[in-house]
Structure 1
Amino acid sequence: MKVMRGMGSKSPLLRRFAGFTFVPLVGTLAPLLLLPIAARVGGIDGWYSLSVGQAVGTFGSIVISYGWNVLGPALVATTSAEESLSAHWAESLRERLLLAAIVVPIAALISVFLASPEYVGFTMAMAVAFSLGGLTPNWYFIGRGDPTSIALYDMLPKLVATLLTALIIFMTGSLWAYPALWILSSLVGLLAAHRSVGYPPIFRGSRISTTLRGLRKRLGVAMIDGLGGVYISAPVPIAGATGSIAGAGMIASADKLYRFGLIAVTTLGNTLQAWTLEPDAPNPRNRHLGAILAHTILGVIGMCGLGLLGEFATSLLFGAEAKATGAAMWYYGIAFLAVSSSTPLIRNLLVPAFKTRFVLAGTSIGALVGVASMFVLGNAAGPEGVALGFMISELVLLFIIAPASVGQLLLTDREASAS
């Protein structure tokens, strides 16, 4: 079965960087047209409910993705046989569809207990819509160095949905278009991507025992991703549980701006991963060091940008009622530096070498310390305490994985010298 290769793993790095920059940039700017409208139309209760539904759905999507967003690109980047690539795609979709049937209803139920009373149904719909993000085809095209397919099958449907949603909310004053059109765009993009890879059979000819074996094989990476998702998704719900809806709305604004910034980290990581891991790359150590340096520089720039401009930016985007404080934005800025610095260590060094126990240890301890810190500091210091606890979680992960990453880099260098 023939699979469309798109740009291919041999695309020049500059072309790859341009593609992986343009696609997320458009995807980032589109919500900037929608969310300010939604924040003002829904008021603080609607803004909080939208954000908490997104948070629960984001965690659900991480569970559904089951580590494929982390492991999948490296697996595809190091695979050349067309039949094997089709098998990877079918196996991933089979596992994630089965998980979605379980996770989506649970996410909707959890959102009921966190929603503002006036927005229960809407919050459930947001949780469902964002849970379906776990079915994204992006990991496959990232591994193939093919940003064009990401634009066609993920960015374009979501861009159309976002622009239509902004228009409908502005005209009707109702937020319901957001989850409805987001669900539709996710399903349309997935079906189109499945068609582009040649309709490999998903369930036909497969056994449940084979699927369960695959789930067990990726359990370590999935646990890393899932535990990371706990503290990634926790700030807004914990801020609502430990304080007022107004305080949670402020954290929601800080969190949104922070996640806009993380698009840059994802872009850089996607651009460099396939290049760094090319099997026949000359001097792989230099490529790893280049990726680490680039992510560190990006982290410093992002930290300063969030810390210095974050309060003004959240006021401008989401309104004075929901703006974040300067202190909260500096905490999120330091977290941004930690995430950017840890990205090449996890994606390019530890996970491809199957040294996931170090990442699992760091993520587990980071999740435990982070969630506890957010809850304790949130009760003691309000929303800024929640932001501080979130920062702590990301720093803990970075400090734990750094020594193992240095060891793997030295091993990679020795192996390259020996060969």
Structure 2
Amino acid sequence: MNVIGRLTRLFGLVVIPVFGLVSPLLVIPAITSTFDANAWVAVALGQSVGGAASVVVELGWGLNGPQRVARQSPAISRLTMAMSVLSKFVVFVPVTIVAFFVAGGLSPAHQLESGLVAIGSAALGLSCSWFFIGTQRVGSLVLTDALPRMLCAAASAMLILLGAPLWTYAVLGLLLPSLLSVSLAITLNGVSYSHFRKFSFRRIIGLIVCQGSALSGRALSAMYIALPVTIVTLAAPAAAPVFAAAERLQRMYLQLLAAFPNMMQGWVGKPGTRVAKRSRINSAVLYNAGLGVVAGVAYSFMAPAVAAFVFSGVAPIPFEVACLGGVLIFFVSTSRATGGLALVSLRKIHVIAWSALAGSVIGVPAIFVLARYYGPAGGVLGEVIAELVVLCVQLVTFATSGKRDAQADRVDGTSAVNPITSRQ
């Protein structure tokens, strides 16, 4: 693909997270300026529990799906989308019932609204955005996913400012756009009833089991990615508003940064020789790490000022918390490349699950204990520790695989390619 084509695709993949960034920027100020801090905690808790549930609903398709459809013909890719949608909806109903009662039971106030937000947040896992990322159809992704979410978020913010109840955000701002997104993706991609008829319930259950490796990594990751607000609320309720604000800004910022590794999915996953493939992988890791350094420093200085606007003074973010968030952003940006790009391309998805398990085992108690004694800063530090453990496990596997490939190249008589100077 020429330079103009790559720049166009990059622009489109940046526009999509920007739309996703605008949505909460429209809604959160409306909530925090209309309701009290307890309402913000209830919403954040619902998003935390629902975010973990959405990982289960998503079934790991966002991890191994893009590179899979990148190699498929249009006809086969339609069947893949149909499989994905069916399998997700089978999981969606029982998972959201559990999420509703968990969020409602843990919320100190606005229990019904917190449970509904959990359902709406869990519905994010239904998205077919991974499909359009893999097929590099950026325009379709904007039309089917980013635009509906932004419009529904704006509508819910407007209604809340006009006096609508808090649950308006859950139903109109979260659940409705997710259902619209799936419907539009199916229609736009030409998936018909005949595609869905090819899969029996037994076959769908088998597919869910087959997605186990990708799902296990995602589900374990949710322990230290989606659930920290829940953990901190249990450990130190007084720290919950500020921690939830910092955590939310971090995730919004990381959503914007996701454009970069998403753009590389098709490039890293395309067919090629072993040497060329390793060159692309190495480059992807280096580029994402560099992006993480720049983005982390920028976040450290911007977060306190942005929080003052977004959260209407309800949850001010101290500078030390912002700096820890910047370190977290660097680790996440790098692990997105070592895990979601490198290990997937090397067919070592099981290592992502092991790294997530290590991060959860160390990170969850670290978040709880540190938040209990050091408040919001301790909670973010626990997240940093979890992400560092994940990154170390992935880097060790990645480095070991590189050494084995280099030895194989010498045996085959293949000269190594410099990952910095060589591009494909």
Normalising by structure 1, we get a TM-score of 0.92
Which of 10, 13, 27 is the aligned partner of 2:6?
13
The residue aligned with 2:126 is 135
Measured in 2, the distance between the counterparts of 1:106 and 1:114 equals: 12
Is 1:37 aligned with 2:36?
no
Which of 267, 273, 284 is the aligned partner of 2:277?
284
The residue aligned with 1:156 is 147
Is contact 1:349-1:409 (8 Å) kept?
A: no
Measured in 2, the distance between the counterparts of 1:112 and 1:120 equals: 4
Is contact 1:41-1:173 (8 Å) kept?
A: no
The residue aligned with 1:352 is 345
The 1:83/1:409 distance shift into structure 2, 3 A limit, reads farther
The 1:213/1:11 distance shift into structure 2, 3 A limit, reads farther
SS in structure 2 at match of 1:382: helix
Range with bigger deviation, 386-395 or 25-34: 25-34
Range with bigger deviation, 157-166 or 34-43: 34-43
Q: CA RMSD in A?
A: 2.3
Range with bigger deviation, 322-331 or 279-288: 279-288
Which of 192, 205, 208 is the aligned partner of 2:201?
208
Measured in 1, the distance between the counterparts of 2:91 and 2:248 equals: 27
The residue aligned with 2:421 is none
SS in structure 2 at match of 1:199: coil
User: Once the 2 structures are TM-superposed, how far is the Cα of residue 10 of structure 1 from its aligned partner?
Assistant: 12
Is contact 2:33-2:312 (8 Å) kept?
A: yes
Measured in 1, the distance between the counterparts of 2:216 and 2:8 equals: 34
The residue aligned with 1:5 is none
SS in structure 1 at match of 2:186: helix
Q: Give the 4+ runs in structure 1 shifted more than 6 A.
A: 8-11
Range with bigger deviation, 406-415 or 331-340: 406-415
Measured in 2, the distance between the counterparts of 1:215 and 1:169 equals: 38
Range with bigger deviation, 253-262 or 81-90: 81-90
Is contact 1:242-1:382 (8 Å) kept?
A: no
User: Once the 2 structures are TM-superposed, how far is the Cα of residue 191 of structure 1 from its aligned partner?
Assistant: 0.8
Matches within 5 A, 1:326-337: 326-337=319-330
Once the two structures are aligned, what percentage of the paired residues are identical? Answer: 25
The 1:9/1:372 distance shift into structure 2, 3 A limit, reads farther
The residue aligned with 2:157 is 166
Is contact 2:285-2:342 (8 Å) kept?
A: no
Is contact 2:50-2:119 (8 Å) kept?
A: yes
Range with bigger deviation, 366-375 or 296-305: 296-305
Which of 366, 370, 375 is the aligned partner of 2:363?
370
Range with bigger deviation, 145-154 or 181-190: 181-190
The residue aligned with 1:113 is 105
User: Once the 2 structures are TM-superposed, how far is the Cα of residue 151 of structure 1 from its aligned partner?
Assistant: 0.6
- Structure 1, residues 326-345: CA drift from partner, whole Å, max 9, x if none? 22222221111111001111
Is contact 1:9-1:144 (8 Å) kept?
A: no
Normalising by structure 2, we get a TM-score of 0.91
Range with bigger deviation, 59-68 or 382-391: 382-391
User: Once the 2 structures are TM-superposed, how far is the Cα of residue 42 of structure 1 from its aligned partner?
Assistant: 1.7
Measured in 2, the distance between the counterparts of 1:115 and 1:59 equals: 16
User: Once the 2 structures are TM-superposed, how far is the Cα of residue 184 of structure 1 from its aligned partner?
Assistant: 1.4
The residue aligned with 2:266 is 274
Range with bigger deviation, 38-47 or 299-308: 299-308
Query: Which amino acid in the other structure matches residue 264 of structure 1?
Result: L
Which of 20, 33, 43 is the aligned partner of 1:27?
20
Is 1:325 aligned with 2:318?
yes
The residue aligned with 1:185 is 177
User: Once the 2 structures are TM-superposed, how far is the Cα of residue 203 of structure 1 from its aligned partner?
Assistant: 4.5
Is 1:70 aligned with 2:90?
no
Is 1:240 aligned with 2:233?
yes
| Unaligned residue ranges in structure 2 (runs of 5+) | 416-424
Which of 257, 273, 289 is the aligned partner of 1:296?
289
User: Once the 2 structures are TM-superposed, how far is the Cα of residue 205 of structure 1 from its aligned partner?
Assistant: 3.4
Query: Which amino acid in the other structure matches residue 350 of structure 1?
Result: L
SS in structure 1 at match of 2:282: helix
Which of 245, 260, 263 is the aligned partner of 2:252?
260
- Structure 1, residues 209-242: CA drift from partner, whole Å, max 9, x if none? 3222222222111010000011112221122111
Measured in 1, the distance between the counterparts of 2:8 and 2:282 equals: 21
Is contact 1:350-1:408 (8 Å) kept?
A: no
Is 1:313 aligned with 2:324?
no
SS in structure 1 at match of 2:38: helix
Is contact 2:268-2:345 (8 Å) kept?
A: no
User: Once the 2 structures are TM-superposed, how far is the Cα of residue 276 of structure 1 from its aligned partner?
Assistant: 2.0
Is contact 1:9-1:77 (8 Å) kept?
A: no
Measured in 2, the distance between the counterparts of 1:238 and 1:375 equals: 6
- Structure 1, residues 245-264: CA drift from partner, whole Å, max 9, x if none? x4201011101110121023
Is contact 1:284-1:412 (8 Å) kept?
A: no
User: Once the 2 structures are TM-superposed, how far is the Cα of residue 83 of structure 1 from its aligned partner?
Assistant: 2.6
Measured in 1, the distance between the counterparts of 2:2 and 2:206 equals: 29
Is contact 1:265-1:295 (8 Å) kept?
A: no
The 1:176/1:27 distance shift into structure 2, 3 A limit, reads same
Measured in 2, the distance between the counterparts of 1:417 and 1:371 equals: 47
The residue aligned with 2:335 is 342
Measured in 2, the distance between the counterparts of 1:16 and 1:326 equals: 35
How many residues are paired up?
409
User: Once the 2 structures are TM-superposed, how far is the Cα of residue 286 of structure 1 from its aligned partner?
Assistant: 3.3
Is contact 1:9-1:274 (8 Å) kept?
A: no
User: Once the 2 structures are TM-superposed, how far is the Cα of residue 411 of structure 1 from its aligned partner?
Assistant: 5.4
The 1:334/1:159 distance shift into structure 2, 3 A limit, reads same
